[in-house]
Amino acid sequence: MAEIVYQDRRVLVAVKPAGVLSTDDSGGLPELLRRQTGLDCVRTVHRLDAAVGGLMVLALSRKAASLLSEQVRRHELDKEYFAAVHGIPEEPEGELFDLLGRDSARRITYVAAAPGKGVQKAGLSYRVLATAQGLSLIRIRLHTGRTHQIRVQFASRGLPLVGDRKYGLAEDDGPIALFSCRIGFNHPESGERLSFFRRPPDEGVWTLFDEACYTP
């Protein structure tokens, strides 16, 4: 089951469980929500790594899907995350910019040294909220939406996400400490700006930090 945060006749906002695909594949979030709601049309307009949980907006009509997808292309869909990383960033807040490439054969993203075929600009803003036991809790706002962007940008700076065995520590136990906590978009029918917030589950690494850190 996925928690449904908001629903009307055009859009649905849900919390994707970690481990569930965001795409319309067998067992993916759209299929899960179709079973929950009894609706035939539930369409993905943006992605979230399968291993990552948190807020997503889905379209309930073809036109809504088209309009929301256009917002994604224009970077008008706001996405923020909580992440827990190993180590402490040198600066308590700032922006990270990189050129990211994608190795499709190995299914990994990497920081590229120079522009080239398939290399894309990636940017994000971050703020350190708290530290505990050598870990940092970070609030992140994406400027771009590249595959594995947050994971790679922090890992490349010696700050791998807790639980990220692909880009971080092979011996790290538990799920990836990354959660989509806020999403904002213009309603495809009314044009109203909508924003939704959810805090991470009260378990695992998230419990190391004070509850006051998890505010909208």
CA distance 60 to 125: 31
CA-to-CA separations, 132 to 27, 50, 82, 103, 211, in angstroms, rounded: 36, 27, 15, 34, 13
User: What is the distance of C-alpha 24 from the center of its chain?
Assistant: 17
Strands 43-44 and 3-7, sheet pairing: unpaired
What's the alpha-carbon Rg for the chain, to the nearest Å? 17
Q: Is 24 a catalytic residue?
A: no
Say how many C-beta atoms besides its own lie within 10 A of residue 179's C-beta: 24
Residue 39: both structure tokens together = 């609706």
Q: Which residues, 6 or more positions from 90, have their beta carbon under 8 angstroms from its beta carbon? A: none
Nearest to 57 by CA among 47, 24, 38: 47
| From 40, 49, 164, 173, the catalytic residue | 49
Active site residue ranges: 49
